[in-house]
A and B are shown apart, each in its own frame.
Chain A
Amino acid sequence: MTEGQAGGATIAFEQVEKGFDGRKILDKVSFSVAQGEALCILGRSGTGKSVTLKLMIGLLMADAGKVLVTGEDMSALNEDGLVKVRRKMGYLFQSAALFDSFTVNQNLALPLHRLDRNKSPEEIERVVEETLGEVGLGKDGNKMPSALSGGMQKRAGLARALVLQPEILLVDEPASGLDRITASEIDALLMKVKTERHTTMVIVTHDIHGARKIADKFAVLDQGRLLAFGTPQELDSRNDNRLQQFIAERC
């Protein structure tokens, strides 16, 4: 068992390898995330952080090794199996990835309509309204995504990721393209989700300031390898200049 690996985890990477066009992006990466834990993945651009998230939700499949989510090996699942695992997960994209031909309300209602066909339109409307209220967009449901600011789009994307009450939330660069204040607001929302819903979280970020607020553990990727894994305190105490470059708070 390598650094960062543990039994009974909600998410576990076991010797995972992934490459594109002959270039290895992840090289024998192993770590795990326990239920209710928040893991922040840090590292330079192009080190495979977003690829790691996409492997977790099955948008990409590992070339070698295993990606286990709630005990299920993602690469061994068929379409139905993937759908079942994905129903436990929410994903906030870096760009929010809202459906641009739908209003914010419709963006949230889409998964509810498709995945819970027993829900009445009134129930769906209520759930959408509540979820938007939670992220502070209660009055913006009828707006098109193009009419929202970057921060509001992120909130709407977060609301869509949360609308199915996922056990696991994957977040790709929550602070990217946002000013510090708006980024802090998104961090506060993620903290709220973590404490109130006990959602397991994996957050990919460059924002060490925000990461320190949310994370129970850090995973640091460098050149496709797991440079370090542990609690922020454990990593702070390590005398490793390369590691400190990633986790030292710079304001």
Chain B
Amino acid sequence: MLKSLFDSIGQVALFGAKALRDAWVPPFEGEYLLMQFYEIGVGSFFLVVASGLALGVVMTLHTRSTLVQFGATAEIPVFQSLAFFNEIGPLVAALLMAGRVGAGIGAQLANMRATEQIDAIETLSIDSFKLLVVTRVIACTVMLPLLTMFMDAAGIFGGFLSEHVWSHLSWRLYMQRAFDGVALADFLPPTLKTAVFGYLIAVISCFYGYTTNEGSDGVRKAATNSVVVSSLVIILADVILVKCIFFLFPEQAI
């Protein structure tokens, strides 16, 4: 059991390392990469923005009910922005991507394997790994930080909507309070860590889809494993990355 676990981790690590290496080796699949940017980025945009907006509203409602007891409702905007920049935005965007994109990648590649489409690519003298895996890894790595920024923005806007309805707070004052005391170090490292999440989601999902060999049952397993393992790994990686951020930016830990 333990041996099999370490064996799987080793295989995924080698798979991810190969994707990282091949990303720098020509030919670059520009056209297909653009398709993946569109599919992964634009395709996830609505889900991320809608979730961010709803979370922003809910977060503010919860925070207000607590802070009102201490007369600190003026701090709601900055709590909101810090919560979204530091953790909610990166983590929720990554989990949403694992659900939507991870499952999609796992199922699509497993289906392509089952229906011999990957073999067909190889017979056409095209490197299927570069075409199918590397492009998805690059697209997820690049698009997740961008989606996180949209999630942050939607969450802060959701918070504003809630506050505006509750206390008629103006947009200008809300934004002023939201960004008062927020440093670049509060925003940049947590947003950039999502590039690692994007890479992990793509590598894990591509691994399960690309290496399956079990027909239609393989498609089901690849889709399920992609979501479950990606989500778990993101949460574990988050712990490590937050520690790294605190080490590199000690003022964040205070």
Instruction: Enumerate chain A interface residues (CB-CB to B < 8 A).
Output: 54, 57, 59, 79, 83, 86-87, 89-91, 93-95, 97-101, 110-111, 113-115, 117, 160, 164
Contact = CB atoms under 8 A, between A and B. Distances in A.
Given A113-B31, A114-B27, A86 B117 contact: no
Interface string B107-128: 0100110011101111111110
B123 A89 contact: yes
A46 to B, nearest CB: 16
B161 to A, nearest CB: 38
A208 to B, nearest CB: 25
Contacts, number: 54
Contact of B126 (A57, A59, A93, A111): A111
Contacts of B120: 91, 93, 97-99, 160
Interface residues of B, number: 17
Nearest to A93: B116
A86 B125 contact: yes
B125 A95 contact: no
Nearest to A114: B126
A59 B27 CA distance: 21
Contact of A100 (B31, B117, B121, B123): B117
B22 to A, nearest CB: 11
Contacts of A95: 115-116
Contacts of B123: 57, 59, 86, 89-91
A20 to B, nearest CB: 11
A41 to B, nearest CB: 17
Contacts of A111: 124-126
A93 B120 CA distance: 8
Nearest to B131: A114
Interface in B81-117: 108, 111-112, 115-117
Contacts of A86: 122-125
Nearest to B31: A113
